[in-house]
Chain A
């Protein structure tokens, strides 16, 4: 499964939900499909996308929040999984695109390439629903089930270590930030 295909497959479900992504390929690919004011791309601070999603989900229980995370980022904030699980917001779906590498900095393998299982770690941290998806069908099914479940879910999507040719887009970081804040204003 390619990440861009997975994003394309669920793009229609992202259109009216709050989306927080990590930097790198996830941000660039989602923007290539189509930026929306309800999408925020955390273009650094690796590990904190899930924490931002938690903060938004706790403050806006009326809205569904999707975090698009990655293996490299999540490995930098594994403790954050225990915080997610502790508060387990029912309106948060946590997707981890696991390409077993730090693609944007040369493709060096992460620990998921040597057996670390992020879905199992999330489950053991106390995340009530977890799933691993290896095909596009498995991913879209798991994603739709998570949206319908109304319970914190971590979905690990195993994807190929391929991405866009460039990571910098024409969307300014602060433009994105203020547009997103304005979108969220009650």
Chain B
């Protein structure tokens, strides 16, 4: 049984649809499985499965210039893997990017291989001057995603939403849930 919350994933997916997102790029990671399946099952959504997250920056840039709103789904390690693309494609060319980043490696993380990325994620985003906000509770998801998209489009710049454990994982209180990721 997957500990990843289907309910929260649905709230996030519906919020993305409400913002007019028609293309998603994704690299699978445990917390994102439901979101990726929802995109796969949605005939209105173009889902692009990537080999590496940085490709998603190029795909979103192409989509934006072609008039299509897109979102990128990735783990925070995928954000680290995308930095050159973010700087030298999205920021250099003023491309809005809506990045949904699963925030692995925070308190409660049980997978040893996820524990370094969590500690650098927010500092990296600040260093890149990328505005970001946490998605922690289902009741603020829709507003925060809409606000992030508004700012991304108004500024023509990347904006990040950090998907936190409390939103994405059910029955996490005792730290039992985890699941392998990348």
List the interface of chain A (C-beta within 8 A of B).
Answer: 20, 40, 42-45, 47-60, 77, 79-80, 82-83, 86-87, 173-174, 177, 180-181, 184-186
Contact = CB atoms under 8 A, between A and B. Distances in A.
Interface string B73-91: 0000000000011001100
Given A48-B57, A59-B63, 8 more contacts: A45-B92, A48-B54, A48-B89, A49-B58, A58-B23, A59-B23, A59-B67, A184-B67
A140 B59 CA distance: 28
A44 B58 contact: no
Contact count band on B: 20 to 34
Contact of B55 (A79, A173, A181, A184): A79
B1 interface: no
Nearest to A125: B51
Chain A interface mostly: helix
Nearest to A77: B55
A1 B50 CA distance: 34
Given A48-B57, A51-B57, A184-B65, A82 B85 contact: no
A56 B62 contact: yes
A82 B55 CA distance: 11
A45 B95 CA distance: 13
A176 B94 CA distance: 12
